[in-house]
Structure 1
Amino acid sequence: MNIVKYENFIKEADLKVEDFRAAFAFGNDGENISDPKMADELLDELLKGRKTATASAVEGYEENEPFPIVDGRFDIVLNGKGEPIAAITNTRVYQTSFDQVTADHARREGEGDLSLAYWRQAHEAFWRQFDLYRPNMPVLCEEFEVIYSKSK
C-alpha cells in the first residue's frame, strides 16, 4: 500500500498516518478498481449515510492478509477513479456464514431495497464471479462509521 499518495487526504482529514490501515473501493479488490460504477454507487450510499456496513468472503483474503478488526484505525474509501473520498473506522466486525447473515446487516449495507433477499441475490452473484459462493460460505461482516468525507 503506497501511503504517500494518501498523505494529503490524511492531513486534510486531520487523521494520523500511523492509524491508516488500507484504502479500497467498495465492490472491488482493494485499490484495484475493475468496476468503477459499483465503487461510485456504493460510495454514494456511504456518503448519504445509508451504507454503514459491508461484507467480504473470508476465502477471498490472501493467505497472510489480516482480517479487519475494531482497533480505532481507519480505512480510506476510494471512488471509481481511485481518489480518496472518505475515511471510515470499524465499530463491529464478526464472522458468520452466508446463510446466517441477518436482515439487520443487509439493511446496514444500504444496497438495493435494503432487504435480506436483495442482499443475498446481489452478493451471491458477486461472489459467484470469483468462484467463492456457497450457501454456508464464511462471511466477514463489518460495521463502520464515517469519520471524514470530502462532501461534509
Structure 2
Amino acid sequence: MAGLAPGDPQLVSMIVNHLKTQGLFDQFRRDCLADVDTKPAYLNLKQRVDNFVSNHLSNHTWSPHLNKNQLRNNIRQLVLQSGMLEQGVDRIVAQVVDPKVNHIFRPQVERVVREFLSPGSSSEEVPAPLPPAETKPDSNIPEQGL
C-alpha cells in the first residue's frame, strides 16, 4: 500500500472494500432509506407511477387467460422508457442524500480512510480536510429497487 499513489485504482479499490467491510455503505443506505418515504420527491414519484400504471391497466380487460407476467413486464418497460424514474430518483437523491453528504457521510468516510491509511496514528490528530468530492454515482454499488 505504501507504494501506491493517491488516486491509484488499486488503492481506491482497497479503501472502498475497507469501507464496505466496516459497514459504512450499509449504514448510509439504512439512514437514507429511513428518510425516503417522507420526502415530497418520493411521494410525487410514487403518485406518478401509480397513476401511470392505473391508466395503463384501465386499457386492459381482465380475463382468466390474461398473461399477467407479460402485462407486468410490459408496464415495467413502459415506466422505464418514460424517464419518470430517472428524474424522480434524481430528485429523491437531492432531497435525501445530498443534505447528509457533507455533515454526516463525509466525516465518517474521512475518519475510516485515515484509520485505514495510518492504522497506528492517534485519532486525535485532525489532518487537513480532503477536497470536495465529485458527485458521480458509484458504479460499484448495486442499485436498489424502489
Same fold, judged at TM 0.5 (above):
no
Q: Which has the higher helix share?
A: 2
Which has more radius of gyration? Answer: 2
TM-score, reference length from structure 2 = 0.24
